[in-house]
C-alpha cells in the first residue's frame, strides 16, 4: 500500500528545504549532536586527497574501529564488528543463528520455526545472502543456487498521486501477485512463477582496440501459477546485495547525505543525485531511504522485516500478515495454515527480529589490501580524476551514538553517496519505487567489492548480476555516469588496469 507523505514542514534543514523535501531526521538513532569543533575536524578528514603518491591517513581502515582483518576465505564478510564487546558478540552469534535458520511450513512440532510462506523465495536469510555476500542470477543449466527474484508493480492511479512533494512517483502492487514474485510455495500450492532469463551479447571496443562483451538480459515471468500478470505490470530483477557495513551506513547523518544531493545539477557537473524518501512503518513518518537497490527502506530493522515477509513469508511486528505476500486474489494461499497462532504472536517476534537486525548491523567490513601499492595508488588517482567520486563518495563520519558504540563516530570509507542517480536506459528497469524513477538506482557501496570472488565464488555485479567483471560494470554506466564511462573507454590500458586494481583493493 502506498502511504501519503507528510506536508512540507516550515522549519527543516537547509539541504532539505533547498530540495523541497519533508522533514527528515535520524530519529531511528539515539544521537549525540556534534559540536562545532567536531564538525570542523570531520570536514578536514573527509576532504579529497591532493597527494596520490601515498594512502590517505586511516584509509586502510574501511570501517574505522569496526574494521576487521581481511580473511582470504569465504567467511570474510561474516565477522562481527572489530570493536564489538564480548557479550555483544554473543548477541551477534545468536542473531547469526536466526539469520541462517531454515523455516518450515505450518503446522509443525517446531513452533518456533514454522510459518514458511505459503509463498516464498527462500527458506532462510542466508539462502539469498550466501556467506553474507552477493547473490547471482541463474547459471546456465543450474538454477538451484541463485538468489534473485523479480519485483512487480503497476503504475499508480490518480488516487495514489502524491501532491506534497514534487517528483514523487506512485506505484501499486500488481493485483494478483503483490509486490514480489515468489518462485516457491508450500506443499499443495503452486509457486507464482519461474524466472526465465535470456542474454544477448554486445561487443564494446575500447580505445586500445581490446573488446569487452556486455550481456543484455531479457526477463520473463514464466509458468505463472495464478493467471496472467496485469497488462501494465512492471518487473524489476534484483540479486541480494552484500551485507557488510550496514550499521555504519545507517549511522551516516541524513544531513550529510542530503548535502551531497544536487537534483537540478546546480554545479553543472552532469551529476544530479536525489534522495529517496520512503514511509517508515516503524516510526509512521517519511524518512530518508538508505537500503535496497533503490533505497526503498529507511533502516536495517525495516529492511529485515520486509525481507522476512517478502522473501520467506514470515510475519513480524512490522508486517503482520500470516499469509505473507499472498493477495486477496490468491484464495487458497490466504486459506493455508499459518504459523502465527502461538505465543510469538507473529511468526518471528520482536525479539527475534531485533536479533537479526543486530546481526545485520554488525557485520564487519574487511580492511583494505595493498593501499600503498604503486599501481593501486595510480588507480586511485584515475578514480578521482575520472569523476567517479561524484557518486561514489569516498568517506563519511558517522553520528556519535549513545547506544551503538560499534557505529559511533567512525571515519568510514564506503564509496557511496547513498543517493539515487539516473543510470540511463541500459540499466533501467522502468519501475518506480517511492521517489525513485525507472532509470534511477542508489549508488552501491564499493567497500569489500574486491573480495567478491573469495566470498561469493563469482564476480557478478550490478542490481541483477549482468556484469561479469568490474570493467563490465563500469561499461554499463550511462545517464549521469556516461561521461565517466566514456573516459574509461578512452583510457590507456595501463591506466585502466590501475583503476581496476584500485577497485579490487577496496
Dump the DSSP string for 194-250: EEEEEEEEEEEE-TTS-EEEEEEEEEEEES-SSSPPPTT-EEEEEEPPP-TTHHHHH
Q: What is the CA radius of gyration of the chain?
A: 22
Would you state the cell numbers that stand for residue 263, as one nine-digit string?
A: 537534483
Q: What is the pLDDT along the chain (506 residues), one digit of tens a residue?
A: 232 222 222 223 445 545 667 778 899 999 999 999 999 999 999 999 999 999 999 999 999 999 999 999 999 999 999 999 999 999 999 999 999 999 999 988 888 889 999 999 999 999 999 999 999 888 754 554 568 999 999 998 655 544 444 445 568 999 999 999 999 999 999 999 999 999 999 999 999 999 999 999 999 999 999 999 999 999 999 999 999 999 999 999 999 999 999 999 998 999 999 999 999 999 999 999 999 999 999 999 999 999 999 999 999 999 999 999 999 999 999 999 988 766 778 999 999 999 999 999 999 999 999 999 999 999 999 999 999 999 999 999 999 999 999 999 999 999 999 999 999 999 999 999 999 999 999 999 999 999 999 999 999 999 999 999 999 999 999 999 999 999 999 999 999 999 999 999 99
Return the pLDDT at 6. Answer: 26
From the list 391, 8, 392, 393, the residue with the least C-alpha distance to 168 is 8
Helix extents (H) in 237-396 = 246-250, 254-258, 300-307, 331-335, 350-361, 374-386
Alpha carbon separation from 384 to 55, 212, 248, 414, 415 (Å, rounded)? 13, 23, 23, 15, 11
Is residue 316 within 8 Å of 328, Cβ to Cβ? no
Burial class (CB in 10 A: 0-12, 13-18, 19+), 124: middle
Cell of 359: 546481526
Q: For residue 413, which of 79, 134, 61 has the smallest C-alpha distance?
A: 61
pLDDT at 159: 55
Please tell me the distance from the alpha carbon of residue 75 to that of residue 364, in angstroms, as a whole number.
11
Q: What is the pLDDT of residue 109?
A: 81
- Specify the pLDDT at position 24: 86
pLDDT of residue 110: 82
> What span, in angstroms and rounded, lies between the C-alpha atoms of 435 and 277?
6
Which pLDDT does position 160 carry in this prediction?
A: 54
Output phi, psi for 184, to 5 deg: -135, 160
Specify the pLDDT at position 363.
Answer: 98
Give me 207's grid cell: 580505445
Return all residues near 462 (Cβ < 8 A) that are at least 6 apart.
427, 473, 476
What's the start-to-end Cα distance of the chain, in Å? 39
| pTM for this prediction | 0.93
pLDDT of residue 158: 55
Amino acid at each position: 500500500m502506498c502511504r501519503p507523505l507528510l506536508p512540507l514542514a516550515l522549519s527543516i534543514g537547509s539541504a532539505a528545504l533547498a530540495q523541497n523535501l519533508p522533514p527528515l531526521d535520524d530519529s531511528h538513532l539515539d544521537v549525540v549532536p556534534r559540536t562545532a569543533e567536531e564538525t570542523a575536524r570531520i570536514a578536514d578528514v573527509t576532504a579529497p586527497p591532493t597527494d596520490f603518491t601515498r594512502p590517505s591517513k586511516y584509509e586502510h581502515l574501511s570501517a574505522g574501529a569496526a574494521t576487521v582483518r581481511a580473511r582470504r576465505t569465504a567467511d570474510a564478510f561474516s565477522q562481527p564488528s572489530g570493536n564489538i564487546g564480548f557479550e555483544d558478540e554473543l548477541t551477534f552469534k545468536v542473531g547469526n543463528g536466526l539469520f541462517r535458520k531454515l523455516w518450515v511450513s505450518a503446522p509443525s512440532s517446531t513452533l518456533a520455526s514454522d510459518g514458511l510462506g505459503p509463498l516464498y523465495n527462500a527458506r532462510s536469510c542466508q539462502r539469498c545472502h550466501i556467506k553474507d555476500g552477493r547473490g547471482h542470477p541463474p547459471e546456465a543449466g543450474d538454477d538451484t543456487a541463485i538468489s534473485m527474484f523479480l519485483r512487480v508493480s503497476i503504475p499508480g492511479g490518480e488516487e495514489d498521486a502524491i501532491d506534497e512533494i514534487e517528483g514523487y512517483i506512485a506505484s501499486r502492487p500488481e493485483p494478483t501477485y503483490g509486490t514480489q514474485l515468489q518462485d516457491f510455495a508450500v506443499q499443495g500450492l503452486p509457486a507464482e512463477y519461474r524466472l526465465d532469463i535470456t542474454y544477448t551479447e554486445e561487443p564494446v571496443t575500447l580505445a586500445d582496440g581490446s573488446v569487452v562483451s556486455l550481456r543484455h538480459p531479457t526477463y520473463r515471468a514464466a509458468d505463472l501459477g495464478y493467471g496472467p500478470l496485469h497488462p501494465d505490470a512492471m518487473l524489476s530483477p534484483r540479486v541480494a546485495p552484500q551485507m557488510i557495513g550496514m550499521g555504519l551506513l545507517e549511522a551516516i547523518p541524513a544531513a550529510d547525505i542530503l548535502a551531497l544531493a544536487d537534483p537540478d545539477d546546480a554545479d553543472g557537473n552532469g551529476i544530479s543525485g536525489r534522495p529517496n524518501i520512503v514511509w517508515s512503518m516503524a516510526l509512521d513518518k517519511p524518512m530518508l531511504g538508505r537500503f535496497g537497490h533503490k533505497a526503498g527502506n529507511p533502516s536495517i530493522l525495516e529492511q529485515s522485516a520486509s525481507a522476512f515477509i517478502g522473501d520467506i513469508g514470515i510475519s513480524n511486528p512490522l508486517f503482520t500478515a500470516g499469509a505473507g505476500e499472498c493477495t486477496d486474489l490468491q484464495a487458497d494461499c490466504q486459506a493455508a495454515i499459518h504459523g502465527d497462532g502461538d505465543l510469538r504472536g507473529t511468526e518471528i517476534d520482536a525479539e527475534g527480529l531485533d536479533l537479526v537486525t543486530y546481526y545485520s548491523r554488525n557485520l564487519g567490513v574487511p580492511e583494505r589490501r595493498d593501499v600503498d601499492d604503486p599501481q593501486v595508488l595510480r588507480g586511485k588517482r584515475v578514480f578521482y580524476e575520472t569523476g567517479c567520486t561524484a557518486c561514489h563518495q569516498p568517506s563519511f563520519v558517522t553520528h556519535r551514538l549513545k547506544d551503538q558504540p560499534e557505529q559511533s563516530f567512525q571515519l568510514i570509507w564506503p564509496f557511496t553517496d547513498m543517493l539515487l542517480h539516473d543510470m540511463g536506459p541500459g540499466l533501467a528497469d522502468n519501475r518506480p519505487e517511492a521517489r525513485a524513477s525507472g532509470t534511477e538506482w542508489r549508488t552501491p557501496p564499493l567497500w569489500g567489492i574486491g573480495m567478491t570472488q573469495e566470498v561469493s565464488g563469482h564476480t557478478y555485479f550490478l542490481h541483477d548480476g549482468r556484469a561479469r567483471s568490474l570493467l563490465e560494470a563500469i561499461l554499463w554506466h550511462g545517464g549521469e555516469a556516461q561521461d565517466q564511462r566514456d573516459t574509461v573507454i578512452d583510457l590507456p590500458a595501463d591506466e585502466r588496469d590501475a583503476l581496476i586494481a584500485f577497485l579490487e583493493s577496496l
